[in-house]
Amino acid sequence: MYELNEIQQQVQQMFKEFSDKHIAPVASKIDTENKFPLELFRRIGDMGFFGMRYPEIVGGSGSDVISYSLAVTELARGSLSLAAVCTMQSLMGTHFLYRFGDKSIFENYFLPALKGELIGAICMTEPNSGSDLMSMTTTAKITENGFTLTGQKTWVTSAPVADFFTVFAKTDNSGQLSIFFVPRNTEGVIIGKNIEKLGVRGSLTSEVSFQEVQLPKNYLLGNPGEGTKCLREILAEIRIMTAALAIGVATAAFNEAVEYAKTRVQFGKPIGKFQSIQTKFAEMSVQLETAKLYMINAARLSDLDLPRQKESMIAKLYASECAVRICDEASRVLASYGYATEYNLERYLRDSRFTLIGGGTSEILKINIAKELGL
């Protein structure tokens, strides 16, 4: 179908083994404990995951996007909560520090975060500004010594445990966005309570408010007003990785339902021998394989530095919608056991819905795909 090179196969295998051995067995605990999975996060840091997309010269491995997407898929197959926080760290949490951080930010925050020693979070969404990012009201007023940051962010992944934040804000009346680095221990940074969620419950999420937070000039990441442009540069990768997260959780649901259908006997034969159950698996299989192809295609275009905005949106839209459908269908195969918390299927179904939202909702992606078509 698509041929992975030797390195891509090795990366996939390494994360597959780790996921099977160390993540899947504790995934249910991660879900119910409502606690940041720090120990596994650090171990994944030791495996070099957080540095995959950064050059070797800074301690990364300079991996291609295909390898990275395969690693994310394998982590998500074990636990979507864990994969979500790790992907957030390796991409959004550290990207702007790497691109624009000065020597002190780079050495004191970026490099430790690359090893998983520090946790980074991204603050864009606000209570009244979600898909419509440009409507945000957080401001960074220019002062003699730097900036005064004021505003309220919400849905910040890993905020309860984060060491630093990358915050989007407006610096003037032009309405353009700028990006700021904010260490957690800065005066005026207040972390709200954990938001209780339907799924990805091991990925802690909370509000963060910034109350007249004084920031020095060097905490502005990039040029003022260029936040949207900088975000656009990694948008395709964010979407490809959300597709990878979706494919991971869908694969877990699919595999477990296949095993169940082989062994659950009703009316004298395994339920997998009934045609209506077989049809479910055929349809799920087509969707899963198609989703993988879209993901790999978008990743391949990224690796070749070719236009990929439309392809990454298609990959994310298709994979997330399929993931929810596959987790639903797979849980029907287990019927009552798919409804029981003792089994994983109900968690997959809850978790999969996150992929419909992160990286842009389906509605927003459809609008933007249409725009790419010139409509």
Ligand X SMILES: Cc1cc2nc3c(=O)[nH]c(=O)nc-3n(C[C@H](O)[C@H](O)[C@H](O)COP(=O)(O)OP(=O)(O)OC[C@H]3O[C@@H](n4cnc5c(N)ncnc54)[C@H](O)[C@@H]3O)c2cc1C
What are the tokens at 100?
């624009």
Q: Which of 24, 234, 357, 369 binds ligand X (CB under 6 A)?
A: 357
Q: Which of 66, 72, 124, 317 binds ligand X (CB under 6 A)?
A: 124
With binding defined as CB under 6 A, does residue 361 bind ligand X?
yes
CB of 361 to ligand X, least distance (A): 3
Query: In this structure, are strands 164-170 and 120-123 parallel, antiparallel, or unpaired?
Result: parallel
With binding defined as CB under 6 A, does residue 164 bind ligand X?
no
With binding defined as CB under 6 A, does residue 123 bind ligand X?
yes
With binding defined as CB under 6 A, does residue 186 bind ligand X?
no
The 10 Å CB-count burial string (b at 16+, else e) for 89-105 is: bbbbbbbbbbebbeeeb
Identify which of 310, 290, 300, 299 has the alpha carbon closest to the alpha carbon of residue 368: 310
Interacting positions 85-104 with ligand X (CB under 6 A): 88
With binding defined as CB under 6 A, does residue 125 bind ligand X?
yes
Q: Would you say 66 or 230 has its CB closer to ligand X?
A: 230
* Cβ-Cβ contacts under 8 Å for 354 (sequence gap 6 or more): 80, 84, 197, 199, 200, 245
Q: Which of 107, 117, 212, 363 binds ligand X (CB under 6 A)?
A: 363
How does DSSP classify residue 116?
T
CB of 209 to ligand X, least distance (A): 14
Identify which of 67, 23, 27 has the alpha carbon closest to the alpha carbon of residue 49: 67
Q: Which residue is nearest to ligand X (CB)?
A: 130
How many residues touch ligand X under the rule CB under 6 A: the total is 20
Q: Which of 179, 295, 354, 355 binds ligand X (CB under 6 A)?
A: 354
Q: Would you say 1 or 375 has its CB closer to ligand X?
A: 375
With binding defined as CB under 6 A, does residue 180 bind ligand X?
no
CB of 65 to ligand X, least distance (A): 21
Question: In whole angstroms, how far apart are CA 86 and each of 25, 72, 75, 121, 220?
Answer: 18, 9, 9, 11, 25
Q: Which of 50, 96, 155, 180 binds ligand X (CB under 6 A)?
A: 155
β strands within 120-264, DSSP E:
120-123, 139-142, 146-157, 164-170, 177-183, 189-194, 205-216, 220-221
Q: Binding segment for ligand X among 40-48, 152-160, 286-294, 330-338 (CB under 6 A)?
A: 152-160
With binding defined as CB under 6 A, does residue 205 bind ligand X?
yes
Interacting positions 288-347 with ligand X (CB under 6 A): none
- How far is Cα 255 from Cα 158, in angstroms, rounded to an integer? 29
In degrees and rounded to multiples of 5, residue 34 shows phi and psi of 60, 40
CB 110, CB 231: distance < 8 Å = no
What are the residues binding ligand X (CB under 6 A)?
Answer: 88, 122-125, 130-131, 155-157, 197, 200, 205, 354, 357-358, 361, 363-364, 367
